[in-house]
Amino acid sequence: MSTAATSSEPVRRIRVMLVDDSAVVRALTRRWLDADPRVEVVRVSVDGEQALKDIAICQPDVVILDVEMPRMDGLAALPGLRKAAPGARVIMASTLTSRGATTTIKALQLGAADYIAKPEATALGAADAYRRDLIDKIVALGERSVGAVKAQAGPIRLRPQVGRGIKPAVLVVAASTGGPAALQAFFTPIASRINVPTLIVQHMPATFMSIFAAKLGESIGRACREARDGEPLGPASFLMAAGDRHLRIARAAAGCVVRLDQEPPVNFCRPAADPLFESAAAAYGQRVLAIVLTGMGHDGRAGSAKIVGAGGRVAVQDEASSIVWGMPGSIAAAGYAEAVEPIEQLGALTLGILNGDAA
């Protein structure tokens, strides 16, 4: 018998543990979460040291972990928290500073599932957006634990491999929630063997972007940085979408170049995957390979439609290895993906396609 929850079965609330040294933040966050019927706050801790004692008792589904705290900060506490509650998903709560960004990126590489940028105390109106974003992340990360995953994506409909034998001229990759760790896992085995321009969109605050690009490059052994408007694309190009800028590809007299802009957000994101994917299809036609990794929402779906419409190819990360199967799941359900693979196998598939599906 299936253990999945049905509409007639009660679904327990998502168990949340809050770790923050600020009494004001703790009180405000708890008030928000207590007002949501999907969420139950099971523990509130004032620092990482207390959290390590508390987590074994409460066994939460989601931990909101402040980055900067006295006695023991979030980064120091993270390994112990993950060991004590392996099934818990950790959201790092960070300030929008270089120091906060650097620590948060390290935490994501160490296994934190996601992050949320705390608004500045002087940013009027930002608290409501922060509340919505935080609750959306908690629900997305906690649904699988409580058996409440919605069948939003629908069944997988694999697309025939119509472009076999054609070597792609560009690789475009998109990720969101869980992306930093997924990008590292995806690229580490293959980065040195990729010989086409590679462009990456990761949903992330502008303050974090350049730091993340550099850290990703260090971890995969290939230089990676934010893209610059107007730069030409060559085989050695390995570029991340710049903070708060859409990344697009445009044709120029001497070849394809990068274009950055601040057009309105797409799918509530800037940068977003769809502008990159759509422009790649227009610039390269059937010689595009798109890879979509873990992430909330459906960014990349419309762009994938353009890519397959031009004869290009799309593959996505599978549900089991994704932190959130929103973006890849929406593409698989729409019938745009020719393959749905675990992150461990997606790299080998990518290299095979880039090499013209050579054996």
Q: Which residues carry out catalysis? A: 176, 203, 299
φ and ψ of 146, to 5 deg: -95, 5
Cβ(148)–Cβ(11) below 8 Å: yes
Residue 276: closest CA among 171, 186, 172 = 172
- Cβ within 8 Å of residue 240, ≥6 positions away: 199, 200, 201, 202, 209, 212, 213, 216, 224, 225, 226, 227
Measure the CA–CA gap between 240 and 264, rounded to whole angstroms.
19
Cα angle for residues 136, 139, 145 (degrees, 5° grid): 160
Query: Which residues on neighbouring strands pair with residue 325, listed in sequence order?
Result: 295
The single-letter code of the amino acid at 154 is G
* One-letter identity of residue 324: V
Alpha helices in the chain, H assignment, sequence order: 23-34, 48-58, 74-84, 98-109, 126-146, 179-187, 206-220, 273-284, 301-309, 327-334, 343-354
- Return phi, psi of residue 115, to 5°: -145, 165
CB 336 within 8 A of CB 306: no
Residue 149: phi, psi to the nearest 5? -65, 125
CA distance 271 to 227: 12
Burial of 31 (0-12, 13-18, 19+ CB in 10 A): exposed
- β-partners of residue 200 are 173, 240
